[in-house]
């Protein structure tokens, strides 16, 4: 049986990222940039006023009630027609182009208007003004030619404003992998049905599909396949055109655990079977090689915690790497145990837990959840991390340091849009 690290490096050696595609930015959320993005503008594009007020020469304001002649009104989108000279000011709105000659703006609230014969004046209620007051200079935030986003950045909803500002209505992203998910088991019924005695609902399939989508993958949930060699053969063969096929169940030592044999018959090259890990030991991994295409096949154990642990340790980093991100072993962080914990692990183990910010705010405090076996979905849904336990007998005290694997609790859920890709190409 191989170790977790060996399994990871074997998978990694078989994982090759896909090419790039051009997409409208709203379809690129959750996907990874395949190029550096450079701004074609300065931001702001001109020296601009940050407030509604009066553009003037700072040195003109001397003493309590300076009065200046108002020469024009500059609104956003219009250009100044005149220069500000000593003794004058221009009414200016937020974001508007600062007129030449002016070097500061006084807020409207710090002024009052004074009508003089044939002349509108403004009185400044500030004793002095610093040059640059309420002015943002051209290019203060971005210079034309700046690299604003780097290749490998995963696009977030938050980035869309900046992408728009720098003229990137379409971006080149790494094509996300196409992933098919198939839950195997004679005992399974779809979540919409009431299971007859002896049956259970397929919970792994929908969970694996949702977690996969969260990585940016394009996912097809194939539903349930019975433990029949004919059905399995048909379903697996049909999906060897995908980039990744994730199977759940049928990889242990039971009489109906047919997945490794059927994969072998279909020419899927076994890379490894079984990992020194708990839960998740039966994990199977193979590759279907065709001259023009490769499918990575994961056979995850059917028990829900084992399936989740294998997804987080092995499948997630693979999907992320295929989608263009750097390979990462997952969000492992150090945490302190919130309470005493005793356990015995005969293999490196993972248990569902909750992690919160510790009372001093400097680390995580992790609390293992009481769970009733590997099928306890209720504990899984309450967890936001998995505690990693070393082999052997452990007796942890509150405050002891441990490793935790953070679970994603807020997936970015942007299905990759075929139609958008077609339109763009």
Residues 205-264 that bind Mg ion (CB under 5 A): 249-250
CA distance 248 to 261: 15
Give the binding range for ligand AMP (CB under 6 A) out of 94-102, 181-189, 310-318, 319-327. 181-189
- Is there a contact between 90 and 82 (Cβ–Cβ < 8 Å)? yes
Contact (CB, 8 A) for 291 and 262? no
Nearer to Mg ion, 185 or 280 (CB): 185
Give which of Mg ion, ligand AMP, none residue 248 binds (C-beta under 5 to 8 Å, depending on kind): ligand AMP
Smallest distance from ligand AMP to CB 151, Å: 37
Beta carbon nearer to ligand AMP, 206 or 330: 206
Interface mask toward ligand AMP for 203-232; x: CB under 6 A: xxx---------------------------
User: Mapped to the 3 state alphabet, what secondary structure does 349-366 carry?
Assistant: EEEEEEEEECCCCCCEEE
195 touches 186 (CB < 8 A): no
Which is closer to ligand AMP, CB of 157 or CB of 200?
Answer: 200
CA distances 163 to 28, 45, 58, 173, 347, Å, are 11, 15, 35, 13, 47
Which of the residues 271 through 310 are near ligand AMP (CB under 6 A)?
Answer: 301-304
Binds 317: which of Mg ion, ligand AMP, none (CB < 5-8 Å by kind): none
- Binding positions for Mg ion, 322-361, rule CB under 5 A: none
Stretch that binds Mg ion, among 264-272, 297-305, 345-353, 378-386 (CB under 5 A): 297-305
Q: Which residue is nearest to ligand AMP (CB)?
A: 302
- The Cα 273–Cα 110 span in angstroms is 75
User: Residue 202, interface with ligand AMP (CB under 6 A)?
Assistant: yes
Nearest-angstrom CA–CA distance, 184 and 115 = 84
Pick from 132, 156, 229: nearest CA to 186: 229
Of residues 119-178, those binding ligand AMP (CB under 6 A):
none
Residue 183 interacting entry, from ligand AMP, Mg ion, none, C-beta within 5 to 8 Å by type = ligand AMP
**How many CB atoms are closer than 10 A to CB 419?**
8
Cβ atoms 32, 174 nearer than 8 A: yes
CA neighbor of 103 nearest in space, from 134, 82, 72 = 134
Of the candidate residues 11, 51, 89, 183, the single one contacting ligand AMP (CB under 6 A): 183
Q: Residue 13: helix, strand or coil by DSSP?
A: helix
Per-residue interface string for the shown chain with ligand AMP, residues 245-274, x marking contact by CB under 6 A:
---xxx-x-x--x-----------------
SS3 255: coil
Least Å distance between CB 302 and Mg ion?
5
In whole angstroms, the minimum distance from the beta carbon of 48 to ligand AMP comes to 58
Question: Hey, what are 66's tokens?
Answer: 């300076």
Other C-beta atoms within 10 Å of 286: how many?
24
Binding flag, residue 185, ligand AMP (CB under 6 A): yes
**Closer CB to ligand AMP, 302 or 352, in the complex:** 302
122 within 8 A of 111, measured Cβ to Cβ: yes
Nearer to ligand AMP, 134 or 201 (CB): 201
Contact region for Mg ion (CB under 5 A) — 67-75, 143-151, 166-174, 295-303?
295-303
Distances (CA, A) of 404 to 58, 198, 407: 58, 35, 9
Q: What is the DSSP letter of 159?
A: G
The strand pair at 178-184 and 170-174 is best described as: unpaired
The span from the CA of 189 to the CA of 199, in Å, is 7
Binding mask 154-193 for Mg ion (x = CB under 5 A): -------------------------------x--------
Binding residues vs ligand AMP (CB under 6 A): 183, 185, 187-188, 200, 202-205, 248-250, 252, 254, 257, 301-304
Residues at the interface with Mg ion (CB under 5 A)? 185, 249-250, 302
């Amino acid at each position: 049986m191989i170790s977790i690290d060996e399994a990871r490096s074997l998978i990694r050696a078989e994982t090759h990222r896909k090419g790039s595609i051009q997409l409208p930015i709203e379809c690129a959320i959750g996907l990874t940039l395949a190029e550096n993005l450079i701004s074609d503008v300065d931001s702001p594009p001109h020296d601009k006023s940050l407030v509604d007020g009066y553009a003037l020469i700072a040195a003109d304001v001397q003493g309590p009630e300076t009065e200046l002649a108002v020469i024009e009104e500059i609104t956003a989108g219009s250009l100044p027609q005149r220069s500000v000279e000593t003794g004058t000011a221009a009414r200016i709105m937020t974001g508007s182009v600062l007129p030449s000659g002016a070097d500061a703006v006084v807020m409207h609230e710090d002024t009052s208007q004074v009508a003089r014969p044939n002349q509108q004046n403004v009185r400044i209620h500030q004793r002095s003004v610093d040059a640059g007051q309420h002015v943002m200079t051209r290019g203060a935030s971005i210079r034309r030619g700046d690299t604003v986003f780097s290749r490998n950045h995963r696009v977030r909803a938050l980035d869309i404003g900046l992408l728009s500002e720098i003229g990137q209505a379409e971006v080149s992203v790494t094509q996300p992998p196409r992933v098919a998910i198939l839950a195997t088991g004679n005992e399974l019924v779809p979540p919409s049905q009431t299971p007859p005695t002896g049956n259970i609902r397929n919970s792994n399939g929908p969970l694996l599909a949702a977690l996969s989508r969260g990585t940016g993958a394009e996912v097809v949930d194939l539903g349930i396949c019975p433990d029949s060699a004919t059905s399995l053969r048909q379903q697996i063969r049909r999906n060897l055109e995908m980039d990744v096929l994730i199977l759940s169940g049928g990889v242990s030592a039971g009489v109906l655990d047919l997945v490794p044999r059927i994969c072998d018959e279909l020419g899927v090259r076994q890379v490894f079977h079984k990992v020194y890990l708990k839960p998740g030991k039966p994990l199977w991994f193979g590759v279907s090689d065709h001259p023009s295409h490769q499918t990575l096949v994961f056979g995850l154990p059917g028990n829900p915690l084992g399936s989740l642990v294998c997804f987080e340790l092995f499948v997630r980093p693979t999907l992320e790497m295929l989608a263009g991100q750097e390979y990462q072993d997952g969000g492992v962080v150090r945490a302190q145990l919130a309470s005493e914990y005793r356990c015995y692990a005969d293999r490196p183990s993972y248990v569902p837990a909750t992690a919160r910010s510790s009372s001093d705010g400097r680390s995580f405090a992790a609390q293992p959840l009481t769970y009733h076996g590997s099928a306890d979905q209720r504990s899984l849904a309450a967890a936001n991390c998995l505690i990693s336990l070393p082999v052997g007998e452990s007796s942890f005290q509150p405050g002891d340091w441990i490793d935790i694997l953070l679970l994603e609790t807020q997936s970015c859920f942007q299905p990759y849009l075929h139609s958008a890709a077609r339109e763009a190409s």
